């Protein structure tokens, strides 16, 4: 377990790297070293798991650089540390950053309707991506000539 400057144990699920100051990110970089040691990982092991260079790990652990947010998130993910807001991939967080302001533009009464439509479309896409039957095969009504697109 890592402890903060005040000696208190850190609740990593409450750490939001995207809102962290450079000084806080510097501290989190030092925590990477402690967490890596606790897991008996070498800098090379962690670098491979997080898809960064060993030099990046060395610089972050020694406090030579503060570490970019996305790099720190990858390091913590490779160390099996769940951070606040980091449960989503970087690309998903980017999409959410685009969708949120668009929803804000909609009048409140329409938001729920729009969100329900989007959720239905996402559920359908997930179901299709999990369906082992490829489109156009015998298991697909449209592919068998029995379906009409609406």
Specify whether domain 12-78 bears CATH 1.10.260.40: yes
Band of pLDDT at residue 44, cut at 50, 70 and 90:
very high
- Residue 47, C-beta contacts closer than 8 angstroms, at least 6 positions apart: 53, 54, 56, 57
User: CA neighbours within 13 Å on the CB side: how many for 94?
Assistant: 4
pLDDT in tens, 77-123: 888 877 665 556 667 767 877 888 888 888 888 888 888 788 788 87
Q: Tokens representing 120? A: 């239905």
The pLDDT score that the predictor gives to residue 127 is 78
Query: Do 4 and 28 contact (CB within 8 A), yes or no?
Result: no
Query: Do 61 and 25 contact (CB within 8 A), yes or no?
Result: no
Share above pLDDT 70 across residues of the chain, in percent, rounded to a whole number? 69
In sequence order, what are the beta bridge partners of 3?
9
The model's pTM is 0.51
């Amino acid at each position: 377990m890592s402890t903060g400057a005040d000696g208190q144990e850190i609740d990593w699920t409450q750490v939001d790297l995207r809102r962290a100051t450079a000084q806080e990110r510097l501290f989190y970089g030092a925590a990477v070293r402690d967490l890596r040691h606790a897991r008996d990982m070498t800098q090379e092991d962690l670098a491979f798991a997080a898809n960064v260079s060993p030099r990046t790990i060395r610089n972050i652990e020694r406090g030579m650089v503060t570490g970019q947010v996305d790099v720190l998130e990858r390091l913590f993910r490779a160390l099996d540390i769940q951070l606040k807001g980091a449960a989503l991939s970087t690309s998903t967080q980017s999409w959410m950053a685009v969708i949120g302001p668009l929803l804000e533009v909609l009048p409140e009464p329409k938001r729920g309707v729009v969100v329900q439509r989007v959720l239905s479309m996402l559920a359908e896409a997930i179901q299709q991506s999990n369906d082992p039957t490829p489109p156009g095969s015998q298991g697909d009504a449209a592919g068998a000539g029995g379906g009409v697109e609406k």
